[in-house]
Structure 1
């Protein structure tokens, strides 16, 4: 039995929570709004604020799916990079929902991949093949540098797509040359474990920039720069450390994406989501991302055959949350 309509779908990260509504079977996600996580005590309060902004007489949601930027285990949920801590059972009761499905945000992002159209992507080279043509067993992967670093996958099965959630952003990051080795060594003075998220995320870019500046040895003080200023100053050429940081970010993201592709066997494509890469614009597509993606020695030909694309639609995870509800009782 399909979850009762209307559906409420949400993509909840460390900084923002995006909400939308699905009115009925086959309907698109509508009435999308973005609310700051820090402005609300928890998801129930944020949902009430979202519903208060709907048109008078709008039907209350009967079912909901929350895509959450954290690992899920049991009833208690705590955001990895946000302040929310809540009980899923209590939240379901508080909101009067017949169904409340909670899933990892990159489980939802992965489930959105089969629904993406060409207008929602910018491919690096050849476009990924249409998901409708995928054979059973085909795997696609998604990597998202946002507040944190999300990683997920999805595999084609008879009549459905199965998400492969995980916490790959916390895997140990590997250098590819002497400069990157020195940058990682610098970061290890601050952190005993340098994960991919320590560099390749919104919370990680300041760490990467400090480390790059220290290795460059030009005496540039970047210690207080937030991610937004690092990106802006790097793109404008106002800071050597910031500009080199963006180059290292793109290159290391490519190497990490290649690792994910090899680990999952993601022949259906590797997709880049999150909010950071779209800000880089043409610099990303001029970077070493793709060459580093393929730079895996004997497996370079394997990686060369895997398409990569940037997800330009920032609301894609909401469609993935709707896909999860659609498949929940199938």
Structure 2
């Protein structure tokens, strides 16, 4: 593979890079709203590097949502992609589309010690699956399976849509507040950027207080400044993320470790490290010991989704 293109496309931003000799080059972040089609965005990206269509021979795009068939509709933006049209416009020999969290999971194989922070100490079992979970626009969940010989398989799913777990009376009272508004309470209804604001409003309602913060960023900033209601909100967010992550470890047997990814948690990394996440993660009754030595890392690397797209493309072409 001479030169390839990798992309990580979300609802707001599209990240592109060149992939050469198993490394990222020339990372650019573009606003999806600025382009009518993904082809136009890629053409603009290549032109910014002095490259014309045909300069890259293969591409891998990591896209939010289930990927199959000739056409793909992006979940959180206006783009649509037809494989044959995309390859024709950009003169590609190969196009691989993968789920964005599959790319994120594969990206964990490239994260160095400097790109992650230990949250729960433990010893990863090298042949066991690892869990990759991350609050962002939604809640992404995937498993990473070692296949041997330096190869990996990512298993994406819709684990963010599982029911929100309730483990004590306080959480049950908050759940009732959320249920009255939503009717069905999924994990990502709370464990996401927008979910943090929803949780804050539920905490205020339970305490009989009028909410005064109007964005997730304000809730986070207020918590870090010591506002007691915002602190309680962010603490509950961390505990619930621990509960959901622990449930997934039990389901998958993910003793290969847990990677917390996404754009939300790194914004309050110190708070998260000192929070009740570890308690929520490991408090599983008779199975608490099973989780007690599973390591958990907070990933702070810049572009793991792009790295994972490169890994996926190399493995696909090798096959």
**Is the TM-score greater than 0.5?**
yes
Question: Within 5 Å, which residues of 2 pair with 1:192-211?
Answer: 192-211=183-202
Distance 2:83 2:208 in 1: 49
> Could you say what secondary structure the match of 1:190 adopts?
helix
Partners in 2 of 1:316 and 1:322 — Cα distance? 10
**Matches of residues 1-330 of structure 1 in structure 2 within 5 Å?**
4-23=1-20, 26-55=21-50, 60-126=55-121, 129=124, 134-135=126-127, 138-159=128-149, 160-222=151-213, 225-238=214-227, 240-329=228-317, 330=319
Mean Cα deviation higher: 58-67 or 204-213: 58-67
- RMSD of the TM alignment (CA)? 2.0
| Cα distance in structure 1, aligned partners of 2:75 and 2:288 | 34
* Contact 1:220–1:241 (Cα < 8 Å) also in 2: no
Counterparts in 2 of 1:121 and 1:58: CA distance versus 1, 3 Å: farther
1:146-193 CA distance string (max 9 Å, x none):
111111111111322111111111111112222221222112222222
CA distance in structure 2 between the partners assigned to 1:263 and 1:323 by the alignment: 26
Instruction: Point out where structure 2 has 5 or more consecutive residues left out of the alignment.
Output: none
Q: CA deviation at 1:96?
A: 1.8
Q: What secondary structure, in the 3-state scheme, does the structure 2 residue paired with 1:189 have?
A: helix
Compared CA separation, residues 316 and 298, structure 1 to 2 (3 A): same
Partners in 2 of 1:84 and 1:241 — Cα distance?
Answer: 39
| Kept after mapping to 2: 8 A contact 1:17/1:37 | yes
Larger mean Cα displacement after TM superposition, 245-254 or 55-64: 55-64
Q: Aligned in 2, Cα 1:50/1:56: closer, same or farther, shift over 3 Å?
A: closer
Q: How many residues align?
A: 317
CA shift, 1:58, in A, is 10
Tell me the TM-score normalized by structure 2.
0.93
Note the residue ranges of structure 1 that are not aligned, 5 or more in a row: none
Distance 2:154 2:265 in 1: 23
